[in-house]
A and B are shown apart, each in its own frame.
Chain A
């Protein structure tokens, strides 16, 4: 039972990572939570720098030997969140870029194909299909 608390913390952290992966993670309230987490992170940082022995004390309460180890564990979790967040953000950006590039390509294509192949050669995609 020595490691119970740290195990709980790490498992809950990993599970919430998995949850974040599956669920949508771009709503306003989750964004707010991310910001709160960041603020807490900064405050804890400052505190840990000022009173390093407290970190060791806290680590021991959780069943971890040294404060450094606790910081390492938390960092691994933090890295996971960061990676995932970046991945999801890139994906959404990629989708937007694709939609944008497609619209530009088709508009431009209709214009230049009309010039090249004669008028009425190409018909613009309707506004409805442009949204697709």
Chain B
């Protein structure tokens, strides 16, 4: 049907009923294989997703975005023919054209993982305060520095089968972005970054991460190695 039959989009969704169906149907024009993980939404997200052609996996309780990504990856890994795995936001801020570019890079075999970056090309779309904080986060994070990343917290990533199979997200909450980067830094996987455009709509701004949540992320990360069994 499509040349992208071997690509699976993993979309974690939590209370995105307003936009999820449009985002999924929009993405399905390019990528027929999509699994949406409804992370225990309390709104009608699940019904909206059910009207689309995407696979739906529902967490019985809300676990967090990191957990939803891991669930989606696990589901997608089991599907026949799945070779490339993209993590994609449910609020419509990512664009399939970017995913196509990233998948192309993986297909060429020069990288195992491609991360989206908002900062390689300055597009002026990112609110300046967010830009400062995110760039600082990338600059002070030792793992992000090791990989020479410019943007450690971008939700758009494409992984090949090996990378997706080895990734184990244990941080259920928002700290998974840093966890993924540190996993990549500690592995022998080849990581590349590509510029992506993020659409900061009113909706995604309202739904997006507040900067104060960065405090939670730092806290979670610092406790990550503790109490693990």
CA distance A121 to B78 in the complex (A): 11
- B77 neighbours in A (Cβ, 8 Å): 125, 129
Q: Is the CB of A21 within 8 A of B67?
A: no
CA distance A91 to B226 in the complex (A): 10
Q: Which of B61, B74, B170, B172 contacts A106 (CB 8 A)?
A: B74
The verdict on A109 contacting B226 (CB below 8 Å), with A102-B67, A122-B79, A129-B77 known, is: no
Interface string of B44-64 (1 = CB under 8 A from A): 000000100101111111010
State the Cβ distance, B1 to closest chain A Cβ, in Å: 14
- Nearest CB to that of B64 among chain A residues? A98
- Nearest CB to that of A92 among chain B residues? B229
Q: Is the CB of B60 within 8 A of A105?
A: yes
- B229 neighbours in A (Cβ, 8 Å): 24, 26, 92
Number of residues from B at the complex interface, CB < 8 A: 28
Task: Other than A97-B61, A106-B75, A129-B78, give 19 A-B pairs with Cβ distance below 8 A.
Answer: A21-B227, A88-B227, A91-B228, A97-B63, A101-B63, A101-B67, A102-B59, A105-B57, A105-B58, A106-B78, A108-B57, A109-B35, A113-B56, A116-B50, A122-B55, A123-B78, A124-B78, A125-B75, A126-B78
- Report which B residues bind A (CB closer than 8 A): 35, 37, 50, 53, 55-61, 63, 67, 70-71, 74-75, 77-80, 168, 170, 172, 226-229
Q: List 18 A-B contacts (CB under 8 A).
A: A22-B226, A24-B229, A87-B227, A88-B227, A97-B61, A97-B63, A98-B172, A101-B67, A102-B67, A104-B60, A105-B37, A105-B58, A108-B57, A116-B50, A122-B75, A125-B75, A132-B74, A132-B168
- Report which A residues bind B (CB closer than 8 A): 21-22, 24-26, 87-88, 91-92, 94-95, 97-98, 101-102, 104-106, 108-110, 112-113, 116-117, 121-126, 129, 132
